[in-house]
Amino acid sequence: MNRRQLIHAAAAIATLLALTACGDKAAPPAPKKADAPKAPEVQVVKIGVASPLTGAQAHIGIDIRNGVQLAIEDANKAGVSIGGKAVKLEMVAEDDEANPTKATTVAQKLADAKVSAVVGHFNSGASIPASKIYADAGIPQISPSSTNPDYTLKGYKTTFRVVAHDGQQGPTLGRFALDKLKAKTIAVIDDSTAYGQGLADNFEAAVKVGGAKLVAREHTTDKDTDFKAILTKIKGKNPDLIMFGGIDPQAGPMKKQMAELGIKVPLIGGDGMQTPNFIKLAGEASEGTMASIPGLPKDKMPGGTEFLAKYKAKFNAEVELFAPMGYDAVMVFIEAMKRAGSSDPAKFLPEISKTNYNGVIGPIAFDEKGDLTNGPITIYVVKGGKWEALETVTPNTGANNTSKAEAPKDAAKK
Amino acid sequence: MDIFLQQILNGLLLGSIYALVALGYTMVYGILGLINFAHGDIVMVGALVAWSVISALGASLPVPTVLLLATAAAIVVCVVLGLVVERAAYRPLRHAPRLAPLITAIGVSILIQYSAALVWGKQYLSLPEIVKPGQIEFGGAQITTTQAFIFVLACAIMAALLWFVKASRMGRAMRATEQNPDVAGLMGVNTTRVIAFTFALGASIGAIAGVMVVLYYGQGHYFMGFMLGLKAFTAAVLGGIGNIPGAMLGGLLLGLIESLAAGYMGDITGGVFGSNYRDVYAFIVLVLVLMLRPSGLMGVGSGDRA
């Protein structure tokens, strides 16, 4: 009996192995079929895209892949010539399942497939481990969506992103508070987490440099629900504005308790509290609260309306979030290849750093770390029980042409 | 001055919730000499049951009806849970060494927490604002009608409990069992029933506290009973565990200490001990009380009973 079970188990494992092996082999033949009928002088340039295509975040991952696909089709339709030779672009899409371990496997697979460049990954947790593999293989990587500052701090020449990172949110919020809200005295609260405290510290530094007075710096935790004591203390200091670095389960009751204590000044925070849940928790008190999210609202992007229509026509679906970033990432690669006259990563990689491209999401340029300079951040405000886009702030306000030269210097100071 | 008054009011309100929860600890300790660490989690279950009822009924019924139904449901579930815990986990260990029921209590606490996580999930559950509170101005300080209602209700429950224990037949039986279960048994008191009743009473008061928390803060989650339970336990020890008026006093005092410490310690110490140490003060007080006056503020040196 035991023996039979053993045999069954072995058989099951063998079948599984065979299936996985088949799965691995099934992908590569497709591209071969595609380039077989082409004339030999048309060179094929492969662009990889890695994002979660299955699981809970699949809708966002597929959105990114669709953006890349659209860009490649558009480029092929217009005709791309690199170094005087016509080339055909081809997409290699991989599923990283939003899983850091799977992300490295997928990255190696893309490197082995000799892709010229990669758009991905979606999650910071996936982009960061994968970035080492791309760096070792010398393949440039543009993440359309990863906002963790660490992603570009590994010192790799190959990592870029086309979205503002978390470290840019705090200073931008700070500038918004000073310039637009004219706040002179500010109280700052954080939830003692890496995200909340980081955001609050960046905000605090920016408003102090800007000449505002920090009247109170208070802390709570990401488990607490009673903020009356610290809010009462803040009330006694009479600030013009209260900033909270944290997420909605605290921000909601906090805003409600502010109203109960008769604190009339607005509350401002980061993307962690720009959620419908915040409004639900704070109730009517949520009105007038401001919070930021990196990026532009999709219908406000320079190429937004056109892109949304094109996307809808092609995929019969609405853009979720990051398809425009995926689209632009491909275009940035193509532009760099054109300027370098080569699709060899070693040759066109230096050109990516010099990018000055007007994409769907707006002007794209990178600093020396590979972060988007002038990455826009949109401030939303609660109006009539809904988050509404109030204003978009770019870290360095000014025309993109003039700011290009000084942008990296500025970013380095931060 | 109005800021100081506001901090006092904040502290009293927070303290009244601690006091209600602390009653559950102190009553059970008084009778069994057992620290029922699962009590905070029973409060959590009460809060989440109320959340479910309010979310399900929503605006379909008048607000007072919804609140009454939610409170009733929370009380029923918590009383049943309290009785089951007593019957299944503590009664078999009544004559075991004192450490055994204590460890069991921690086990029951974890069991309830993760069962709740299975039922309600691990995310924060939020409740839309169903009562639109009015503002009451009070010597420059602001409180809402909800807060005032919670505070008055908490005081009423405490007063009723004091009367019940002093004057009713069951209350007398509870006091007798507390003094000496064996002699009380010989005098015809059904101590097993009295103990079960005490658990049920503590659980129902805890359920009401849970409803207050979920209504006032608008959210709950499966882990919320842990910190609340720990604070309430501290309050019970501060006032003298086993002593009912002591638990009330301890709860109110603890609320005041937290509120004033978070409000003023930062400025007094020049920002060294800011509001991030708020929870620390509660436990510093616990350590000091255990060191200097182990029987608590209102406790009589009970010696080593049981």
Question: What pLDDT was estimated at residue A27?
Answer: 41
The answer to whether residue A34 sits within a structural domain is no
Residues A313, A210 within the same domain:
no
Q: Which amino acid is at A20?
A: T
Same domain as A344, residue A392: no
Nearest to A235 among B3, B147, B274 (CB): B3
How many of the other CB atoms lie within 10 Å of CB of B299?
21
Task: Please answer whether residues A195 and A166 qualify as being in contact, where contact means their C-beta atoms are separated by less than 8 angstroms.
Answer: yes
Q: Is the pLDDT of residue B305 over 50?
A: no
Whole-number pLDDT of residue B42: 96
- Please tell me the predicted confidence (pLDDT) of residue B1: 60
pLDDT tens-digit readout, B274-293 = 777 778 888 888 888 888 88
What is the structure's pLDDT at A104?
95
Chain B (273-292) residues lying within 8 Å, Cβ to Cβ, of chain A: 274-276, 278-279
- Report the pLDDT value the prediction gives residue A234, as an integer from 0 to 100: 92
| B3/A252 Cβ within 8 A | no
- Select the residue of A236, A249, A260 nearest B3 (Cβ to Cβ): A236
Please check the confidence at residue A181 and state whether its pLDDT lies above 50.
yes
Q: Looking at the domain assignment, is residue A230 inside a domain?
A: yes
Residues A117 and A99 in one domain: yes
Two tokens at A160?
């870029």
Residue A409 tokens, joined: 């210097």
Would an 8 Å CB–CB cutoff place B129 in contact with chain A?
Answer: yes
Residues A281 and A344 in one domain: no
Do A246 and A204 share a structural domain? yes
More confident residue, A407 or B135: B135
Q: What are A316-342's pLDDT values in tens digits?
A: 988 877 899 999 999 999 999 999 999
Are residues A391 and A281 part of one domain?
Answer: yes
Res B78: pLDDT:
97
Which residues in chain A touch residue B144, judged by CB atoms under 8 angstroms apart? 260
Cα–Cα distances (Å) from B20 to A40, B162, B185, in that order, read 82, 12, 29
Which residue of B lies nearest to A218 if distances are taken between CA atoms?
B275
Say whether both A140 and A199 belong to one domain: no
Looking at the 3D structure of chain A, how many domains does it have?
Answer: 2
Please tell me the predicted confidence (pLDDT) of residue A40.
Answer: 54
Query: Same domain, yes or no, for A63 and A116?
Result: yes
Residue A373 within a domain: no
d(CA A121, CA A144): 7
Residue A359, in any domain of the structure: yes
Q: Which residues of A touch B7 (CB under 8 A)?
A: 229, 232-233
pLDDT at site A168: 83
Claim to verify: residue A312 and residue A356 sit in the same structural domain: yes
Range of the domain at A240: 167-294+384-402
Does the distance separating the beta carbons of A261 and B135 come in below 8 Å?
A: no
Chain A partners of B260 at a C-beta cutoff of 8 Å? Answer: 229
Give the whole-number percent of chain A exceeding pLDDT 70. 85
Residues A392 and A271 in one domain: yes
Q: How distant is the Cα of B126 from the closest Cα of chain A, in angstroms? A: 6
A335: in domain: yes
Is B276–A192 a contact, with Cβ atoms under 8 angstroms apart?
A: yes
Interface of A with B in 252-271 (CB under 8 A): 252-253, 256, 260-262
Sort out which chain A residues have CB atoms less than 8 A from B259's CB and list them.
228-229, 232
Q: Which helix (DSSP H) or strand (DSSP E) does residue A391 occupy?
A: strand A386-393
Q: Is the pLDDT assigned to residue A185 strictly greater than 90?
A: yes
More confident residue, B36 or A193: B36
Tell whether A16 is covered by a domain: no
Residue A277 pLDDT: 83
Least CB-CB distance to A232: which of B6, B132, B147? Answer: B6
- Claim to verify: residue A184 and residue A231 sit in the same structural domain: yes
| Mutation target among B43, B260, B278 for the A interface, most CBs of A within 10 A | B278
In angstroms, the Cα distances linking B235 to A316, B8, B245, B256 are 61, 17, 11, 11
d(CA B72, CA B56): 15
The pLDDT, as a whole number, for residue A20 is 47
Phi-psi group of A359: left, alpha or beta (phi > 0 → left; psi -120 to 50 → alpha; rest → beta) = beta
Is pLDDT larger for residue B46 or for residue B241?
Answer: B46
Instruction: Provide the residue type at A398 as one letter.
Output: G
Q: Is A192 on the interface with B (CB under 8 A)?
A: yes
> To the nearest whole number, what is the mean pLDDT of chain B?
89
Q: Is residue A29 part of a domain?
A: no
Q: Do A256 and B264 touch (CB under 8 A)?
A: no
- CATH code of the domain in which A305 resides: 3.40.50.2300
Q: Which residue has the higher pLDDT, B171 or A54?
A: B171
Is A378 inside a domain boundary?
no
Give residue for tokens 């939303």: A380
Substitution target from B150, B276, B281 for chain A, most A beta carbons within 10 A: B276
CA distance A405 to chain B (A): 42
B114 touches chain A (CB under 8 A): no
Average pLDDT over residues B230-240: 91
Contacts of B66 (CB under 8 A, 6+ apart): B53, B54, B57, B58, B130
Instruction: Write down the pLDDT at residue A392.
Output: 84
User: Tell me, what's the pLDDT at B126?
Assistant: 83
A193 and A318 both lie in a single domain: no
Chain B residues within an 8 Å CB radius of A223: 223, 227
